[in-house]
Structure 1
Amino acid sequence: MSGSSAAASLRVRVDLAYDGTDFSGWAAQPGRRTVEGELTAAVTTMLRAAEPVKLTVAGRTDAGVHARGQVVHADLDAAAWAAVPGRSDRPPEAAAVTRLNGILPPDIVVRRVRQAPEGFDARFSAVRRRYLYRICDDPASLDPLRRRDTVVSRNALDVEVMDAAARTLLGLNDFAAFCKKREGATTVRTLLSYRWARLDDGTLAGTVEADAFCHSMVRALVGAVVPVGEGRRPAEWPAQVLAARRRDPAVSVMPAHGLSLEEVVYPPDEELAARAEQARSVRVLSE
């Protein structure tokens, strides 16, 4: 909270986008430029708060990873929130968008600010997160304006076989083979969708959706199917890696700049609190 009691506070949801190129990831780190650091400073300045405002994010992106659909919540002092428009007759939600974008650097854009419904938690209420990974396998055709969000492959890729291999990873599984293990954290996740397609401009686009992701999981999932697309591994190989439940040095964690958090999806308002409670429980893989 921002120094007020629970009775005098309210929860606000912020939807934002950012170019992750020049950030050391989402999470605040001493001496490093981060998205959380910039947004915390902007919200704190807007509210004229005595202490930094605490933010809760839907998905912690790594250094260099972008976002078009990031979501954050913050518990704010109600009186400070009501004062955001100043002398303007605009509602605080509209005034906050203008003011925050006036404070933030140009590589972060606040899309929308609104009071969150009862039970909303940006992290735990989410039912799924969607990421996009872009690869260009024809370097001469790469639009130079997309070089900050597209990875170049020197080898031609078979998108159809990549798509087939990706689909073998779907469902509730232990994704330890594709995660950087954290003490006390589960690696069980439900991969809801994983597909590859070639866009009109020739770029390969990988779309990955899950209830939640482990650290480095998306980039490792991409790294598992790229060798298949190159013809160096059979289509069954990613599923074999998954079944082993341990990191395989043959799976590369792909470069960060090709990845973007595109969307975070939440249930209807009346289900938010229940979803948050469910997500806080440790996931256990059924035998």
Structure 2
Amino acid sequence: MALTVALGLYLPGPIPPGEPPPSKIEPWSTSAVAGSADAPVFVQSSPVRVPAGGTAQAIATCPAGTQVFGGGESNPVSGTVVITRSVPWRGTWETTVRNNGTSDAYVTGYAVCGSGLTAYRQVHGSAVSVTPNGGQELASVDCPAGMRILGGGQWISGPLNVSIDASLPLSDSVSDRWFIRVRNHNAEIIGIQPIAICGSGLTTQIVSGGGAVVAPGEYKPATATCPAGTTLLGGGGGGVWYDTHQGVTITDSYRSAQDSWTIYARAHPGNTGPRGITSHAICGT
């Protein structure tokens, strides 16, 4: 499967209060059209206001004739707007965020859309319960045999006062999978469920970026870039998988350049030392 990228024309306009500045995200077209049946298309939602102390949902819709490969969200706030739920729904990618700050903010949702696969599946993992008041659990779901990971996310059942420590692709000699780790800040049990988007008919690789070391309370980005000759299909990231004490909170996860995937994360102020974060890009040919 040959992959190329088609982006629509972007005409800059007024930036709403709190909208991510151009230095943080690449502007995309909301009506991009693929140049061929197999070309991945990158789309964004309109800016969505998130009230202080509240939640909001950003929805990016794939063009007709394409399937959603993955997605995410970007916001301009330094660590107070956090991702809580990020999932495919029919032909869209829906990202829910929580604003833990004291003023309103704006977020933008993103989707990567494609076609031309010989097989496509959205695979939901088993639900895992997370104990209240700071409990943390991890979960993962494998792609079926012979299928490769394209993207993924996490469903949260219950109140959305949570922090996502990791939501990222993994691959080994056995299978591709999507891995999540979630902390529950509610006073009641919640359920978490990983979702993997899997396909066949293309060659993929997962590229890990250089990562970053984040001190307690610090807020930093990490970026992974696809090698020349490949095309970005999706991505994710978060705290390194083995580092579970307190950890980090993902605030943004999105395509930041033509072939790059970036996350922003804030380390928990109660950490006893620095934590590592990394971004992962899923690259295809």
Same fold (TM over 0.5): no
* Greater fraction helix: 1
Give the TM-score normalised by structure 2. Answer: 0.26
Give the TM-score normalised by structure 1. Answer: 0.26
Which of these two proteins has the greater Rg computed from alpha carbons? 1
* Greater fraction strand: 2
Specify which structure has the bigger relative contact order, considering alpha-carbon pairs within 8 angstroms and separated by 6 or more residues: 1
